[in-house]
Amino acid sequence: MNKQFQLLNLIFTFIISFSLTFIVVSARLFPDVPSWIPSGTPPAGAWDAFRNFTGCHHGVKYDGLSNLKNYFQHFGYISHAPQLNFSDNFDDALENAIKTYQKNFNLNITGELDDNTLRQIVLPRCGVADIINGTTAMNAGKEKETTSYGHSKPKFHTLSHFTVFPGQPRWPEGKQELTYAFFPGNDLSKTVKSVFATAFARWSEVTTLTFTETESYSSADMKIGFFEGDHGDGEPFDGSLGTLAHAFSPTNGRFHLDAAEDWVVSGDISKSSLPTAVDLESVAVHEIGHLLGLGHSSVEDAIMFPTISSRMKKVVLAEDDVRGIQYLYGTNPSYNGSTTTSSPETNSGNCGRSLTTVWSLWSLFTFLTFAFSPFVL
Ligand SMILES: [Zn+2]
Ligand SMILES: [Zn+2]
């Protein structure tokens, strides 16, 4: 009887440790600005190789150019079935994609892969497409007679520069109090969670929406998690830099961050020696904009601009962002016209627990369970 109990106990321990080992996702979180200089060469950004296409010309074939076409397809600039393999030819479709991209990002519209255009293309950015269902509401959508899509009128609302998703999805009227929860497998520290709370507060300050953290991941309106590579929603992450995060339009509520980034939780990130350091709050404020229904804006100062450089902090809502969110949800009567939410700072010695450590502990636990099991029985 006693042996049976021990056997059951062992099986139970194994199941628990096995499942927890697999649901824990390691994320690279730095509680403060890393001041150390990494040894060796820094990891290449996901799109760095595109810089080699500087000066490439229409009508010529270049090795690997199909990868750039995949990039443009991902962000909505080339409409093709995903299963279709692109050629390496610099064709009309690529030239049109470049022109539309240049309009959206306030670049000279040349249709060529000039230095300024490629410098913009390789910047880390949000994974949400700029053009959804073939229609852009960024700059290029405002010049409907010159777009390559031939729509008689833009489908997006183009008041100001902000954009909303097609169909203008938003959280239902009357539902002012929204909840959010963190993916339990990440086991985030309080310091990390507070960054998201501050990011939410920036949006609630200018509207009447409120955001409250809840323990129940399954029932929360918004679900936040760090994931690596292919994580089951058809939008795989790509490692260091490249795509940083993505979020879905209302009322889906999913907000995913690439666990492979070097996320910095607090401090003056511009002073970081780590070239791949990404400011967590900046990305959180942007993605929450998507969760609430905003699309990308061509205004470079706006939170909803699609790209952000590494070692850059941008957390204050621009006028364009405020107009956008108030277009969807109305104003906050107590909002005085300027955003004031300040970023929380943590002591540099306050070391949050890295998720890699958590993963390692569970691996050790599993190992010990197996190593000592014959002696238990
Ligand atoms: Zn975005
Ligand atoms: Zn995802």
Average pLDDT, the chain: 82
Whether residue 77 is predicted with pLDDT greater than 90 in this model: the reply is: yes
| Residue range 290-346, pLDDT digits in tens | 999 999 999 999 999 999 999 999 999 999 999 999 999 999 988 888 765 544 433
Catalytic residue status for 281:
no
Cβ atoms of 278 and 261 closer than 8 Å: yes
Q: What is 123-150 written as a DSSP string?
A: S-EESS-SEETTEE-SHHHH-GGGSSS-
Separation of CA 343 and ligand 1 centre (Å): 21
Q: Beta partners for 257?
A: 226, 245
Whether residue 14 is predicted with pLDDT greater than 60 in this model: the reply is: no
- As a whole number of angstroms, the distance between CA 95 and CA 8 comes to 65
Separation of CA 258 and ligand 2 centre (Å): 8
User: What is the predicted pLDDT for the residue at 253?
Assistant: 98
- The arithmetic mean of pLDDT across residues 254-273, rounded, is 93
> 27-45+160-353 has which CATH code?
3.40.390.10
The annotation status of 258 as a binding-site residue, yes or no, is yes
- The arithmetic mean of pLDDT across residues 19-27, rounded, is 56
Separation of CA 259 and ligand 2 centre (Å): 11
Q: Phi and psi (nearest 5°) for 8?
A: -60, -40
Whether residue 153 is predicted with pLDDT greater than 80 in this model: the reply is: no
Whether residue 81 is predicted with pLDDT greater than 70 in this model: the reply is: no
Cα distances from 155 to residues 57, 103, 138, 163, 299, in angstroms, run: 33, 18, 12, 10, 19
User: What is the predicted pLDDT for the residue at 91?
Assistant: 95
- The arithmetic mean of pLDDT across residues 66-91, rounded, is 88
Separation of CA 370 and ligand 2 centre (Å): 34
The annotation status of 115 as a binding-site residue, yes or no, is no
Q: What counts of helices (H) and strands (E) characterise the chain?
A: 9, 11
Question: Closest ligand to 290 CA?
Answer: 1
The annotation status of 92 as a binding-site residue, yes or no, is no
More confident residue, 55 or 37: 55
* Catalytic residue chosen out of the listed positions 143, 281, 287, 300: 287
Question: 177-182 and 277-279 as β-strands: parallel, antiparallel, unpaired?
Answer: unpaired
Q: Locate the domains of the chain by residue range.
A: 2-26+356-376, 27-45+160-353, 48-121
CATH 1.10.101 fits 48-121, yes or no: yes
User: What is the predicted pLDDT for the residue at 2?
Assistant: 54
If DSSP states are collapsed to H, E and C, what string results for 269-316? HHHCCCCCEEEHHHHHHHHHHHHHCECCCCCCCCCCCCECCCCCCCCC
User: What is the predicted pLDDT for the residue at 41?
Assistant: 63
Whether residue 58 is predicted with pLDDT greater than 60 in this model: the reply is: yes
Question: Closest ligand to 226 CA?
Answer: 2
The annotation status of 296 as a binding-site residue, yes or no, is yes
Question: Closest ligand to 287 CA?
Answer: 1
Q: Which two tokens stand for residue 27?
A: 């994320």
More confident residue, 39 or 297: 297
| Residue range 179-219, pLDDT digits in tens | 999 999 999 999 999 999 999 999 999 999 999 999 999 99
